[in-house]
Amino acid sequence: MAASGSAIGLGNVVFFPANAYRFGGGSFYLPYLLALLVVGVPLLIVELGLGREHRRAYPGALRKAAGGTGEFLGWWALFNTGFIALCYVAILGWVVGMLVGSLGPLWEPSTALTGFDAERLANPRGFFYRMISRPAPLLFIALIWAANLWIVRRGAAGIERAVRVFVPAMWILMFLLLIRGVTLPGGVDGVWYLFTPDPAVLSDVEVWRGAISQIFFTISIGFGVMTAYGAYLPERGSQTTQAVLVSFLNCGFEYVAGIAVFAILFAFAVVPQASTIAMTFFIAPEGIGQLPGGPPVVTSFGVLFFLLLLLAGLSSSVSMVEALVAALREKFDLHRGATTTAICTAGILGSWVFALPHVVDPQLHGHGTLGMTLFDLIDHWAFDYGLLLVGLSQALLLARHRRIERLRRSLDARSPRKLGPAFDILVGRVIPVLLTALLVWSLVAEVRAGLYGADATFADGWSRLATVAPGAALLLWLTVPTGLAILLTRWPPVPRTRRSQP
């Protein structure tokens, strides 16, 4: 349940509908399903299995499987995850802002905005821009980190207690939204959109890359979190079955979320813009704001929607924190409470850095994408490249150390469903070839188009930032995880005492 709580998150409710829309609705289906079956499930089996096999968090487990390079990869992945966590919690802070807003101001008639793009802004959009450019979300971000601290400092038991409430609550909220969406007049058209394929899109490599990135993100692979959770699994039980179950629960939830969101969008003929964040923060509220039944209905569905996002996001963010806490404790024999407090404090400061540009310069040009901020830039590298890079390196390393077959045999010994030797070829050969091809293709496309964000628009007075920010973000993403990973891998481990027991 905790693993499915990690998997089900903003990715399901926010990124999936946005990606499905961007990549042609029904046509996204096929690449998505293939990515899940060919890459997603096998890598989830490996990541969960590694944890269960070695009883260590990601760097420790990879060290046992593949030596020092393995440990380096483990730390690198966790710091890449760290960047994503900072952005993720910043978004959750905004979700709280919207949740508070949905009690009233979010639904008020559109008010003129000064200082933003000249185009007339619908109220949710105006509300969102105003909200993020005030200091309140910084407080909400701190609260989300405090909630993470509160849950993770109790260890596996704390996470267990939280997900027992959060996960069923998420499903209930999602079904309420689904029923509301599909019973709206015109809502079913949205469902058709999601399921009517347009094969022309399939020849577009970008769609396939989008599908694989979505799968990595949504089932939490390439982050190192599933290995940390796998380390707590009991002796008995099959990671093959667990991985299949978690993936299907997650992707089932994702499709239900897609149907609900598309139904609401189509019922009100709201055209989503390209951006993922736009979808959640203004398109969905625009749809909800038009629900028939007046303020009580609108308010309650708005609250439901943002509460769902909050619960889903919180049960995901705790897994990122746990992955890092567990790894650091193992390495340095640290107390759980102190380690969690240190990480969450650093998290507050880090997430503020991502949310602050909007407070400092509320005029960041928002072509539905919030402009090109540090947020977009880091997210681009950590998400579009980092996760796939971890998946690829992990497969190559395990193959080089002849660990895949060993792991598979041990998984098969405890599972009623046998993976068989084809699994070794899939993980050791097919997946690396696929991921290398996609990464090279993306990089070439990127180099041709110019460095990501190089054409960013910033408001007057900040335009000089636009010239250095894209390069600086790339450098930051490359150097911080690499530097820290080298340092931590070289550092001799502190012998374990009882302190670092789970």
- Dihedral of CA atoms 95, 101, 103, 105 in degrees, nearest 10, equals -160
State which residue, 193 or 229, has the beta carbon closest to ligand PHE: 229
Length of the chain: 502
State which residue, 291 or 318, has the beta carbon closest to ligand PHE: 318
The conformation of residue 213, written as its DSSP 8-state character, comes to H
- For residue 455, the minimal CB distance to ligand PHE (Å) is 28
The answer to whether 430 touches 38, Cβ cutoff 8 Å, is yes
d(CA 43, CA 316): 18
State which residue, 133 or 218, has the beta carbon closest to ligand PHE: 218
Q: In this structure, which long-range contacts are made by residues 163-166, counting pairs with CB atoms below 8 Å and at least 24 apart in sequence?
A: 163/1, 163/2, 163/5, 163/315, 164/1, 166/5, 166/311, 166/312, 166/314, 166/315
d(CA 324, CA 48): 16
The DSSP-derived string for 81-103 is HHHHHHHHHHHHHHHHHHHHHTT
State which residue, 222 or 428, has the beta carbon closest to ligand PHE: 222
- For residue 467, the minimal CB distance to ligand PHE (Å) is 32
- For residue 316, the minimal CB distance to ligand PHE (Å) is 3
State which residue, 6 or 273, has the beta carbon closest to ligand PHE: 6
Helix 239-267 to helix 205-218 angle (10° resolution) is: 120
State which residue, 148 or 415, has the beta carbon closest to ligand PHE: 148
d(CA 470, CA 372): 9
- For residue 173, the minimal CB distance to ligand PHE (Å) is 15
- For residue 427, the minimal CB distance to ligand PHE (Å) is 20
Amino acid letter, residue 339: T
The DSSP-derived string for 301-322 is HHHHHHHHHHHHHHHHHHHHHH
State which residue, 275 or 319, has the beta carbon closest to ligand PHE: 319
Handedness of CA 270, 271, 277, 278 (dihedral sign): negative
- For residue 246, the minimal CB distance to ligand PHE (Å) is 10
The answer to whether 47 touches 206, Cβ cutoff 8 Å, is no
State which residue, 218 or 242, has the beta carbon closest to ligand PHE: 218
Any idea which residue has 């015109």 for tokens? 186
The answer to whether 479 touches 487, Cβ cutoff 8 Å, is no
State which residue, 243 or 291, has the beta carbon closest to ligand PHE: 243
Handedness of CA 52, 56, 57, 58 (dihedral sign): negative
Answer left, alpha or beta for residue 334, where phi above 0 means left and psi between -120 and 50 means alpha: beta
d(CA 7, CA 114): 40
Amino acid letter, residue 470: P
- For residue 325, the minimal CB distance to ligand PHE (Å) is 13
State which residue, 19 or 299, has the beta carbon closest to ligand PHE: 19
Contacting positions for ligand PHE (CB under 6 A):
6-7, 9-12, 217-218, 220, 223, 225, 316, 319-320
- For residue 169, the minimal CB distance to ligand PHE (Å) is 16
- For residue 183, the minimal CB distance to ligand PHE (Å) is 27
Residue 361, classified by CB atoms within 10 Å of its CB into exposed (0-12), middle (13-18) or buried (19+), is: middle
- For residue 441, the minimal CB distance to ligand PHE (Å) is 24
State which residue, 280 or 299, has the beta carbon closest to ligand PHE: 280
State which residue, 220 or 339, has the beta carbon closest to ligand PHE: 220
The DSSP-derived string for 163-207 is HHHHHHHHHHHHHHHHHHHHTSTTHHHHHHHHH---GGGGG-HHH
